[in-house]
Amino acid sequence: MDAPFLIAAVLTLLSAIAAISLRNVVHCALCLTLTFLGLATLYLQLGAQFVGLTQIVVNVGAVAIVIVFAILLTRSSDNPGESRFNKGAIWAGLICAAVFATLVVAINTSYVSMKSGAPAPPLTVEKIGHELMGRYVLPLEAIALLLTAALIGAVIIAMKESNEKGGGQ
Amino acid sequence: MTLETWLVFSAALFCVGLCGALIRRNAIIVLLSIELMLNAANLNFIIFWRYGVNADAASGVMMVIFSIGIAAAEAAVGLALVIAVYRHFKTVNLDRIDSMKG
């Protein structure tokens, strides 16, 4: 186990736990951004440079901003006297611990090929571009359509309802 | 670095996200936890691409690129829904949004 992995993994896990447990929602969003950054460094360590940089651009850049906007638009809704956890939080925690234990047991007992010392497979941006325009051109078009539809749908859903005054706005 | 270490880390990240989605009352935090789980799945794709038998192909990286795109679309639609719900109920507390509960 080497030091860069350990630092990034501990940072990612701690900021993820902070993101789900802090009281202030803005702090949660900032911790989530830190988690995304830690994940990007882990992608870089795994030899997937393009994915790591995409993670920074998309998740750290765009998704975090969208989350902060949503927090600002739904402000002043939290009641400070109220608990931020559900009534069944203990059971939920137990379920999560059980899921984690099951996954760890499954990982450690299953047969997987271990190539710990293997070098990272060479994958340049040029090759990714050729693949995207060749073998993966249909999924690329499908995801372009999906993104367009999703963004138009998001705008329509979040638009103000105009049922009181009948039209306008 | 062995494959097991990476997989256990990714499982831990997934379970943190699952826990957040189950225990929190704020709808935005629940969406944020779903993002965490999606990212753990993406990490798994990259891990198996790196340590898998056919590591030369670009399949794992392509999968993650498309998955990140879908996650971005999901975040946009989900947060728009949260804003619409907030405008209707004046709260994002999931325990109070119970109009359809008998």
Tokens 């402000």 label which residue? A75
Residues A70 and A127 in one domain: no
At which of A76, A109, A141 does a domain end? A76
Q: Do B16 and A62 touch (CB under 8 A)?
A: no
Q: Do A32 and B9 touch (CB under 8 A)?
A: no
A157, A164, A169, best to mutate vs chain B, most B CBs in 10 Å:
A157
Q: Do A13 and B13 touch (CB under 8 A)?
A: yes
Q: Do B50 and A121 touch (CB under 8 A)?
A: yes
Domain ranges of chain B: 3-89
3-state secondary structure of A22: coil
B-chain residues near A84 (CB < 8 A): 24-26
Give the model confidence (pLDDT) of B72-101 as tens digits: 999 999 999 999 988 888 888 888 888 876
Q: Residue A79's pLDDT band (boundaries 50, 70, 90)?
A: low
User: Does residue A43 sit within a domain?
Assistant: yes
Give the whole-angstrom CA distance, residue A103 versus residue B10.
Answer: 10
Give the model confidence (pLDDT) of A143-167 as tens digits: 999 999 999 999 998 887 666 554 4
CATH number of the domain residue A7 falls in:
1.20.120.1200
Ramachandran assignment for A76, one of left (phi > 0), alpha (psi -120 to 50 degrees), beta (any other): left
Q: Which domain holds residue A41?
A: 1-76
A75 in contact with B, Cβ within 8 Å: no
ipTM for the assembly: 0.90
What CATH number belongs to B3-89?
1.10.287.3510
User: Does residue A90 sit within a domain?
Assistant: no
Of the listed ranges A16-30, A70-84, B9-23, the one predicted with least confidence = A70-84
B1 in contact with A, Cβ within 8 Å: yes
pTM: 0.88
Give the model confidence (pLDDT) of B25-61 as tens digits: 889 999 999 999 999 999 999 998 888 766 567 888 8
Q: State percent of chain A over pLDDT 70.
A: 85
Q: Do B80 and A158 touch (CB under 8 A)?
A: yes
At which of A44, A76, A108 does a domain end? A76
A4 in contact with B, Cβ within 8 Å: no
Residues A130 and A61 in one domain: no
What single-letter amino acid sits at B1? M
A53 in contact with B, Cβ within 8 Å: no
How many distinct structural domains can be found in chain A?
A: 2
At which of A42, A76, A110 does a domain end? A76
Give the whole-angstrom CA distance, residue B32 versus residue A135.
Answer: 33
